[in-house]
Amino acid sequence: MSTKKVTGFKYFLWILPFMVLVFLFSYFPLHGWIYAFYDYKPPRPLSKCEFVGLHWFEMLFSNETQVSQLIQVMKNTFAMSILGIATSILPLFFAIFLNEIKNKKFRTFVQTFTTLPNFISWVLVFSVAFALFSSGGMVNYVLMNLGILKEPVKFLDSDSYTYLKMVLWSMWKGLGWGSIIYLSSIAGIDQELYEAASIDGAGRFQKMRYITIPELMPTFFVMLMMAVSNFLNNGMDQYYVFQNSFNKEHIQVLDLYVYNIGMTGSSYSLATAISMLKSVISVALLTVCNLVSKGVRGETII
Amino acid sequence: MSKKKSKDGSLGAIYRSSTGDKIFSVINYTLFGIFTLICIYPFYYMIINTISANDLSAAGKVILLPKGIHFENYKALLSLNGLGTAVIVSIAKTVIGTATTVMATAFLGYMFTQERMWKRKFWYRYVVIIMYFNAGLIPMFITMKTLGLTNTFWVYIIPGIVQPFNIILVKTYIESLPRSLQEAAEIDGAGVFRRFWQITLPVCTPILATVAIFSAVGQWNSYQDTLIYITDQKLYSLQYLLYTYINQASSLAAMVRNSGMQGMNAATLATQQTSTSIQMTVSVIVVLPILCIYPLFQRFFVKGIMIGSVKG
């Protein structure tokens, strides 16, 4: 008995260094939340900074400029997330229709090259955007040559249709990749279902509607729940690179806003307060999604 | 017999709705063809522009085929300040970051299958749960500063060593393997390490390859770590350097537009032109490794995603 316990403890000692890493980079940073209750001015140590209690949280909801800024940021966050969720059905249809293509070579070709953009960084996507859509870029040149435009359109340095543009870029990057999970689900559907349907005289679309789509719904549901639980976490990768002084008003999502006021504007405490609220809401959303998933499918997502 | 019959049945169905089917197929092929072109073309565009005459390329005139082929742009990169170091930093962080995280993932994934471990379930949850919360940008920054990691190369490596999602993947994979080998080795008196090295590790190659590929692509592509934790130019990653180049180009272009001059003079045109060509050439350098290894890892990621959908 006791030797077994000793071995068990030895095993633990081997993983201990990694547990320390987990502590240092995931649990320990949580202590930084106390900065939200101070007026932290970076060069000074925290002990010499003023304790302000809930000042920053109150300011978020009472200071007029702050409130209007936050409302705009929340609008952007919601818009991007809702558009993201609305378009999350597209990979499913992409997979279904790609599966209808009988020429295997063409199908592999499409799958290979539509997945490629997922593996390049957002900096590179921006580089692509800049090469093609800046005022001196290819698209403007072609449109002007065809006589459709008289002056170059500022695709990047303007604030028109910012949400739409962002969604289109993320679709360009992610549509093919997003469809892979559905393609592999389709491959796993029992072929006898289709054969039986064919005997019953079902056409292509009927098979799609009554077999493929229902079979893919569980996967779609999991993806949807994950998207909803990440509602506030748009990340800043995409928006940071596309951000400029023209489109700042509509491109600033919550994560980017925290970066901008925290790292650029150096209001560490306010930024911490906002990200703290965000974390709490995110965990709440995740819990709700988990409960919904448990209720609907009898299976949790985490 | 029955199979043949069903085939006839489906043929019959196709025959009945042949016109509708043909129209559908044509539209389907066309749309997929167009979308695929949209996905490929930008890469092609950048590549042909880096080898074309810079003045034509800056005006957006190089569209289908390279014009006035030359390789000066690539030669010019050699004299570009900071690019060499950035390439080394990016390669180093990709190689070292991937190696460390793959080894740690394999080891932890294996150890978490050892039922004898003290408080195994607790420690497993302790690792998995970190996927679902995040201290936030500023607390992370302060932590890195406290630990003395800001402006060091190790900030790229150490925080990313333990990846809970990958650990779940590997653990699930090991648990799906037959246990008999493990048990036999244990009876033979093989210690926990020997069992890991000689038995588990070799059979885990497919899943570890998947983990390695995703970590490598992630490391190569990340720029946020540089943006947040690094101010020392010697430690810039290639991605971040590219971002600064594009930004300089865009501010230059903005300056030219805002100057209000109708005819841009030759000097500004020349500056703008070099920044465009530099930006595109660096982009090609940045994307090249991805393009080169892409065919290799393509077969892995479907597998990876399938295993990933199995819950840990």
Q: State CA A236 to chain mean position distance.
A: 9
How close, in Å, is residue A291 to chain B by CA atoms?
15
| pLDDT tens readout for residues B105-132 | 999 999 999 988 999 999 999 999 998 8
Where exactly are the structural domains of chain B? 1-72, 81-236+294-308
Of A35, A116, A131, the CB nearest to B294: A116
pLDDT band of residue B6 (cuts 50, 70, 90) is very low
| Cβ contact, residue pair A123, B286, below 8 Å | yes
* DSSP labels, B94-158: HHHHHHHHHHHHHHHHHHTT-TTSTTHHHHHHHHHGGGS----HHHHHHHHHHTT-TTSGGGGTG
| pLDDT tens readout for residues A13-67 | 999 999 999 999 999 999 999 989 988 887 777 888 888 888 888 888 888 888 9
| Cβ contact, residue pair B60, A139, below 8 Å | yes
CB atoms within 10 A of CB B88: 12
| CB-based contact, A142 to chain B, within 8 Å | yes
Share of chain A above pLDDT 70, in %: 99
Q: Which of residues 161-180 of A touch B (CB under 8 A)?
A: 172, 175-176, 180
Q: Are B157 and B100 in contact (CB under 8 A)?
A: yes
* DSSP labels, chain B: -HHHHHHHHHHHHHHHTHHHHHHHHHHHHHHHHHHHHHHHHHHHHHHHHHTS-HHHHHTT---SS--S---HHHHHHHTSTTHHHHHHHHHHHHHHHHHHHHHHHHHHHHHTT-TTSTTHHHHHHHHHGGGS----HHHHHHHHHHTT-TTSGGGGTGGGS--HHHHHHHHHHHHHS-SHHHHHHHHTT--HHHIIIIIIHHHTHHHHHHHHHHHHHHHHH--HHHHHH---GGG--HHHHHHHHHHHHHHHHHHHHHT--SS--HHHHHHHHHHHHHHHHHHHHHHHHHHHHHHHHHHHHHHHHHHHTS--
**Rounded to an integer, what distance in angstroms lies between the CA atom of residue A73 and that of residue B287?**
33
**Rounded to an integer, what distance in angstroms lies between the CA atom of residue B206 and that of residue A109?**
24
Q: Which residues of chain A make contact with B39, given a CB cutoff of 8 A?
A: 113-114, 116-117, 172, 176
Q: Which of residues 19-38 of B touch A (CB under 8 A)?
A: 21, 24-25, 28-29, 31-33, 35-36, 38
Of B31, B39, B224, the CB nearest to A172: B39
**Rounded to an integer, what distance in angstroms lies between the CA atom of residue B14 and that of residue B1?**
20
**Rounded to an integer, what distance in angstroms lies between the CA atom of residue B203 and that of residue A238?**
38
| pLDDT tens readout for residues B206-244 | 889 888 988 999 999 999 999 999 999 999 999 999 898
| Cβ contact, residue pair B134, A279, below 8 Å | yes
Token pair belonging to B215: 């970590």
Q: Give the best-scoring range by mean pLDDT among A21-30, B201-210, B267-276.
A: A21-30
Token pair belonging to B186: 């244990």
pLDDT of residue B52: 82
Overall residue count recorded for chain B in this entry: 312
Contacts across the A-B interface (CB distance below 8 Å): 275
| pLDDT tens readout for residues B42-77 | 999 999 988 888 777 777 778 888 887 888 778 777
Where exactly are the structural domains of chain A? 68-122+160-297
Q: Which residues of chain A make contact with B3, given a CB cutoff of 8 A?
A: 195
The SS3 assignment for A103 reads coil
| CB-based contact, B285 to chain A, within 8 Å | no
| CB-based contact, B87 to chain A, within 8 Å | no
How close, in Å, is residue A81 to chain B by CA atoms?
18
Q: Are A18 and A12 in contact (CB under 8 A)?
A: no
Q: Which of A6-20, A143-157, A194-208, B269-283 has the lowest mean pLDDT?
A: B269-283
Of B60, B139, B158, the CB nearest to A30: B139
> What's the count of helices (H) and strands (E) in chain A, helices before strands?
15, 2
Q: Which residues of chain B make contact with A255, given a CB cutoff of 8 A?
A: 137
Q: Which residues of chain A make contact with B159, given a CB cutoff of 8 A?
A: 21, 25
pLDDT of residue B301: 67
Of B132, B290, B306, the CB nearest to A120: B290
Q: Which of residues 272-301 of A touch B (CB under 8 A)?
A: 272, 275-276, 278-279, 282-283, 286, 299
| Cβ contact, residue pair A244, B40, below 8 Å | no
- CATH code assigned to B81-236+294-308: 1.10.3720.10
Q: Which residues of chain A make contact with B243, given a CB cutoff of 8 A?
A: 123, 126, 241
Q: Are A224 and A88 in contact (CB under 8 A)?
A: yes
ipTM score of complex: 0.87
Q: Which residues of chain A make contact with B217, given a CB cutoff of 8 A?
A: 119
pLDDT: is A43 or A77 the higher one?
A77
**Rounded to an integer, what distance in angstroms lies between the CA atom of residue B172 and that of residue A296?**
25
For residue B273, is pLDDT > 70? no
Class of domain A68-122+160-297: mainly alpha
**Rounded to an integer, what distance in angstroms lies between the CA atom of residue A19 and that of residue B265?**
62
| Cβ contact, residue pair B133, A140, below 8 Å | no
**Rounded to an integer, what distance in angstroms lies between the CA atom of residue A23 and that of residue A25?**
6
> Which backbone phi and psi does A30 adopt, to 5 degrees?
-60, -25
R_g of chain A computed on alpha carbons = 25
| CB-based contact, A108 to chain B, within 8 Å | no
How many Cα atoms sit within 13 Å of A31 on the Cβ side? 9
